[in-house]
Structure 1
Amino acid sequence: MKTMHMLMMPMVLTGGLSTAALADDGSLSPNALESLLNDADTYGVTHYDEVAIDDGNRLEIEGWRDDGWQLDIDMLIEDGSLVHEKRHKDTVPDWSLTSDELHQALGNAQDAGMKRFSELDVDEEGHVDIEGYDAQNSEIDIRLERNDLTVTGVEHD
């Protein structure tokens, strides 16, 4: 299995976010997250299994390109710059989320009360877990069924 590691100097993909996009609690507004995901789509990510805020200033994305390369990329939250890439040849799993499904899952989480995003994880068992914050700035964990992306549970911490 081929593995490639690349450390890239900040390179703006399409971004243009301000540092105000990241809240003090390390979460992102839906618009800021949408902009960064559009940058990831432009970079070639077509299927996702994890999206998370890393080190308070980066968005880490684990997923795949259509050509079978598994990607682990870090983007600066402030402007969408790609600062790290690791990839290896793999097969895109059926349980990963397409870009459209990812956006639908995030929209369903917003409908369930999430106002700010911090993490999304998809597993082989057919679950999508999304963590973030609600309107009262309390932590919220939302679980969705992978097949139709319906909300199956909401937990407030």
Structure 2
Amino acid sequence: MQTKHALMLPLIAGSLSLAAVSAQARMTPDQVDALLKQTGEYGFTHYEEISFDDGEVEVEGWLDDNWTADVDFTLQGEAVREERRRRDGGARGLSADDVRNAVKAATDEGLTQIEEIQTRRGNTIEVEGYGQNGGEMEIHIDAESYKVINIDRD
């Protein structure tokens, strides 16, 4: 499988650069949607974790049924680190639509900025970020129904 060395991530119809998003280490739901489209073009089919931290976007997931990848993207949208592993058993994790549904469930609870999305034990999805008042939120969502199971607010 050919390694792609650069991936530009035009967010919100190109009006906001990845640099602007990563500098704040958070993304809006619309920016997550744009990121999912671009990482899909990169080759991701399933996601285990997406995090926005330290000026980078890190995506962990599956490229197909046999390869997992952990890719860091720079502020300019270039893939600077890619680690691939061959694994048996087929792709696991969340589809792009699963991520979108979880983000919608979290935003319906007041989450406005997202730092991390990841799969958890017990068939749950955890979405971490900040609400409208700036307070931290950690929302646990059932991965099948997308119903909110628990909300931790700090």
Give TM-score scaled by structure 1 length. Answer: 0.82
Matched, 1:115 2:108: no
The AA in structure 1 aligned to 2:153 is H
Q: Is the 8 A contact 1:22 1:29 kept in 2?
A: no
Matched, 1:140 2:137: yes
Matched, 1:70 2:65: no
Partner of 1:61: 59
Kindly provide the CA deviation profile for residues 74-110 of structure 1, in whole angstroms up to 9, marking residues without a partner as x.
Answer: 112x44322211111113355x111111111111111
Change (3 A) 1:7 1:83: farther
Q: Is the 8 A contact 1:140 1:154 kept in 2?
A: yes
- 4+ residue runs over 6 A deviation: none
Partner of 1:12: 7
Q: Is the 8 A contact 1:108 1:149 kept in 2?
A: yes
Unaligned runs of 5+ in 1: none
Kindly report which structure 2 residues correspond to 1:82-93, keeping only aligned pairs within 5 A, or say none.
Answer: 82-90=79-87, 91-93=89-91
Distance apart, 1:20 and its partner CA: 2.7
Q: Is the 8 A contact 1:70 1:87 kept in 2?
A: yes
State the alpha-carbon separation in 1 of the partners of residues 77 and 36 from structure 2.
Answer: 9
Kindly provide the CA deviation profile for residues 25-68 of structure 1, in whole angstroms up to 9, marking residues without a partner as x.
Answer: x212222222222211111101111111132x111111002242
Instruction: Give 3-state SS (helix, strand or coil) of 2:85's partner.
Output: strand
Distance apart, 1:23 and its partner CA: 5.8
Unaligned runs of 5+ in 2: none
The AA in structure 1 aligned to 2:62 is W
Q: Is the 8 A contact 1:7 1:85 kept in 2?
A: no
Instruction: Give 3-state SS (helix, strand or coil) of 1:132's partner.
Output: strand
Matched, 1:101 2:101: no
Kindly report which structure 2 residues correspond to 1:34-45, keeping only aligned pairs within 5 A, or say none.
Answer: 34-45=33-44
% identical equivalent positions: 30
State the alpha-carbon separation in 1 of the partners of residues 116 and 86 from structure 2.
Answer: 25
Q: Is the 8 A contact 1:47 1:92 kept in 2?
A: no
Give TM-score scaled by structure 2 length. Answer: 0.83
Q: Calculate the aligned-residue CA RMSD, in Å.
A: 2.2
Change (3 A) 1:113 1:92: farther
Count of residue pairs brought into register by the alignment: 147
Distance apart, 1:156 and its partner CA: 1.1
Q: Is the 8 A contact 2:26 2:113 kept in 1?
A: yes
The AA in structure 2 aligned to 1:20 is A
Q: Is the 8 A contact 1:39 1:80 kept in 2?
A: no
